[in-house]
Amino acid sequence: MIPKAVSSTRRAAVSPRRVPVWTKTVWLALACCFLAVMTAHAQISPGPLARAHQSLSGPTQCTSCHALGKGAAALKCQECHTEIAHELAQGRGLHARFQDKENCARCHSEHNGEDFGLIHWEPSLKDFDHRQTGYTLEGKHTGIECGKCHTPAHISAAVRPSIQMKDLRRTFLGLSQECVACHDDPHHSQLGQNCVKCHNFTDWKAASKIDHDKTRFPLTGLHAKVECAKCHTPATPKGQPRFTGIPFAKCSDCHTDPHRGAFAQSCESCHTTESWKKISGGRQFDHSKTKYPLEGKHAQVDCIKCHASANFKKPVAFAKCSDCHQPDPHGGQFAARKDRGECSACHTVAGWKPSSFGVKEHASSAYALEGKHAGVSCDKCHLPAGKATRYKVAFANCLDCHKDVHSDQFAQAPYNNRCEQCHSVKGFRPSSYTLAQHQKSRFPLSGGHVAVACGECHAGGRAGYPEKVAAYRFADRSCTGCHKDPHQGQFKERMAEKRPNGSPLGCEACHTVKSWTDLPGFDHSKTSFPLRGGHAKVACEKCHKSAEPGGKISEASFRSAPTACSGCHQDVHAGQFTKGGQPVACERCHTEDHWKPSLFDHEKQTDFSLRPAHKKVACNDCHTNFRFLGGKQVLVYNLAPRECARCHN
């Protein structure tokens, strides 16, 4: 404008190729001003702004972010970022958790260049601790990618204008913590929008937090086990499940009347929510006011068992048990009785078992129960169990019921398997078989046998009978039929000798039934070594010893006992009186009656006569020389002095 004005007023005076001096001066001044401003801005600004804040670049824009006159550069971030200011004011979101809420630059550093990122995640966006936002991720929310929730679609229209981020896909602001912000409300606002009152973050369908007791219809009894959808049904075929407006004042609002109007009373006057079949104790239908009071187990029977098809108006016969209970479980076995087998004669309403037909009543039958029979349960005799049980059973003989434990040992006369000859109903043991009866048997008891318990002889597994069958008939009634021969056949010839009646002597050839150690039948004088003198007083085991150390005398070898003195006695003379390498018989000097005095004849058996005065001298006055022979000190007889001077002064 100015150049044109100047040129029009001075067109004639100015050369078309020449620029006026004042024009150059103006342009020079403008250039200087521009350079001055640019130099001042470069000196004031700490660096270029990030790309998001490029619209605020320039020396005239500083006050858009910074407040002047407050010393340190005070930031005015919240004047633009009103969405953050709103959350800080309400104490919500991530920024509200920081102590220095006004110091945005602590996390969002500016003037670091156009490409510098303003948001930094610690330690990373993937590992960000969501609890810092005030909304902890629980259950199925855990592990979901951020972008699944933080999407523009989940930001409400009311919040969008306040968010400075133009690309809403890049912001984490604007989301509500309400479930319906992300999820559709399947209940269509019937129950409000606080989903966590009933549901949890792990299983939506479980509705584990719902407390029906706080509603107008607390769930009790079996109602507590019913699925929600059974009651909360849609009002229309294609509608949504109802959670409000469901009638529940009467049972018939949900349930059909199974009694078809037979009772005017409400359902709860007889029933409870615990079980339809269980009549309420406090509000029970009083059957005692009917013609048939319910007693005993009848009180526990389901109504439908008697009132078929739940028809309570139809009369039910009840004069006899058989009016209801069919068929006859006993198959007509009692039909011939005067009462035609009426159940109440043996049973009560308290229970079918046990029968009221007891021991007292059984006495009126053909078989009175006595002794231990009175304690036997009915089903032990009346078999088989179940509907085929027989009540008319044979009872003439014990074996009609009991197994013969003796395996027919008493089948012949005089017993003929009549158990009562030895036993009674008081008990199978002890037997009533007496000692007097035993004396009439083929084996009368005497001596030690009288005191032996029956089971010691009549044991299982003997005389060819099985292990569980006690033997009572013995073909071999000799001692060895029961007792083991401890002598192992050493006396079989002796035992085979006959009695006058022709039976073998057996053990009684030496022993008696009174005592095993008493041997009246054994005569040692008839052996090759008759017992005389001191030998007659010696105990048998001193000579007859077992081959095993500590063994019993019954195990000793009786036929191999030594007969020479040296076989039992030790040579106290240590071999001084041997001849030809063999010991001289002890009986040359000693007798069986006693060891001392000796029978030694000094006149005949030595060449040193004791006559006359020496005959009165004691042996040990002359024989005084001892030597160690065979490990012991022994008196040596042939060392006695023969010279007078050796003994006399």
Contact 128, 121 (CB under 8 A): yes
- Distance, in Å, from the CA atom of 144 to the CA atom of 126, rounded to the nearest integer, reads 10
Structural domain containing residue 76: 45-177
Contact 198, 177 (CB under 8 A): no
- H helices of 258-392, where? 303-306, 359-362, 378-381
DSSP 8-state class, residue 577: T
3-state secondary structure of 68: coil
Query: In terms of DSSP bridges, do strands 74-75 and 275-279 run parallel, antiparallel, or are they unpaired?
Result: unpaired
Domain ends where: 125, 149, 177? Answer: 177
For 638-647, what is the mean pLDDT? 89
In a domain, 462, yes or no: no
- List, for residues 310-346, the tens digit of each pLDDT value: 778 788 999 999 999 989 999 999 998 888 889 999 9
Number of Cβ within 10 Å of residue 551's Cβ equals 12
In a domain, 134, yes or no: yes
What confidence score (pLDDT) does residue 582 get? 81
Q: Which of the residue ranges 163-172, 305-314, 621-630 would you say has the lowest mean pLDDT?
A: 305-314
What confidence score (pLDDT) does residue 635 get? 93
- The answer on pLDDT for 449 being more than 90 is yes
Distant-in-sequence, close-in-space partners of 515: CB < 8 Å, separation ≥ 6: 447, 448
Site of tokens 């000097």: 589
- Distance, in Å, from the CA atom of 387 to the CA atom of 328, rounded to the nearest integer, reads 9
What confidence score (pLDDT) does residue 9 get? 32
Number of Cβ within 10 Å of residue 643's Cβ equals 7
The CA dihedral of 324, 327, 331, 334, to the nearest 10 degrees, is: 20
In a domain, 369, yes or no: no
Q: How far is CA 385 from the centre of its chain?
A: 34
CA separation, residue 179 to residues 176, 200, 595 (Å): 8, 11, 125
Sign of CA dihedral 417, 418, 421, 425: positive
Confidence of residue 69 (pLDDT cuts 50, 70, 90): confident
- Distance, in Å, from the CA atom of 248 to the CA atom of 423, rounded to the nearest integer, reads 76
Number of independent structural domains in the chain: 2
In a domain, 415, yes or no: no
Domain ends where: 129, 148, 177? Answer: 177
In a domain, 439, yes or no: no
Domain ends where: 126, 145, 177? Answer: 177
Distant-in-sequence, close-in-space partners of 417: CB < 8 Å, separation ≥ 6: 397, 399, 404, 408, 410, 411
- The answer on pLDDT for 133 being more than 60 is yes
Q: What would the two tokens of residue 158 be?
A: 């009311």
- The answer on pLDDT for 122 being more than 90 is no
Q: Which of the residue ranges 227-236, 279-288, 570-579 would you say has the lowest mean pLDDT?
A: 279-288
- Distance, in Å, from the CA atom of 525 to the CA atom of 465, rounded to the nearest integer, reads 43
CA separation, residue 508 to residues 426, 438, 478, 498, 520 (Å): 40, 21, 9, 11, 9
- Distance, in Å, from the CA atom of 114 to the CA atom of 27, rounded to the nearest integer, reads 33
- The answer on pLDDT for 2 being more than 50 is no
- Distance, in Å, from the CA atom of 327 to the CA atom of 388, rounded to the nearest integer, reads 13
- H helices of 151-282, where? 228-231
Distant-in-sequence, close-in-space partners of 173: CB < 8 Å, separation ≥ 6: 83, 84, 87, 93, 155, 159, 163, 165
Amino acid at 295: E
Distant-in-sequence, close-in-space partners of 370: CB < 8 Å, separation ≥ 6: 425
Sign of CA dihedral 353, 357, 362, 366: negative
What confidence score (pLDDT) does residue 389 get? 92
- The answer on pLDDT for 4 being more than 80 is no
Q: Which of the residue ranges 68-72, 378-382, 585-589 would you say has the lowest mean pLDDT?
A: 68-72
What confidence score (pLDDT) does residue 191 get? 87
- List, for residues 260-272, the tens digit of each pLDDT value: 887 878 888 888 8
3-state secondary structure of 385: coil
- The listed range with the strongest mean pLDDT (193-207, 391-405, 553-567) is 391-405
Q: Which helix (H) or strand (E) holds 148?
A: helix 146-149
Q: How far is CA 600 from the centre of its chain?
A: 89
For 531-557, what is the mean pLDDT? 87
- List, for residues 376-421, the tens digit of each pLDDT value: 999 999 999 888 899 999 999 999 999 999 999 999 998 999 999 9
| Nearest residue to 602 (alpha-carbon basis) of 628, 564, 629, 640 | 640
- List, for residues 6-36, the tens digit of each pLDDT value: 333 333 333 334 445 555 565 566 655 445 4
- Paired with 584 in beta bridges are none
- Distance, in Å, from the CA atom of 385 to the CA atom of 390, rounded to the nearest integer, reads 9
CA separation, residue 198 to residues 191, 193, 212, 299, 389 (Å): 10, 11, 10, 42, 60
In a domain, 287, yes or no: no
In a domain, 633, yes or no: yes
Whole-prediction pTM = 0.43
Site of tokens 């004691």: 618
Q: What would the two tokens of residue 73 be?
A: 């550069």
Percent of the chain at pLDDT exceeding 90: 48
Query: Whole-number mean pLDDT of the chain?
Result: 86
Contact 284, 275 (CB under 8 A): no
- The answer on pLDDT for 298 being more than 90 is yes
In a domain, 159, yes or no: yes
- DSSP letters, 96-139, are GG-S-TT-GGGTS--SS-TT--S---SS-STT--GGGGT----G
Q: Which helix (H) or strand (E) holds 628?
A: strand 626-629
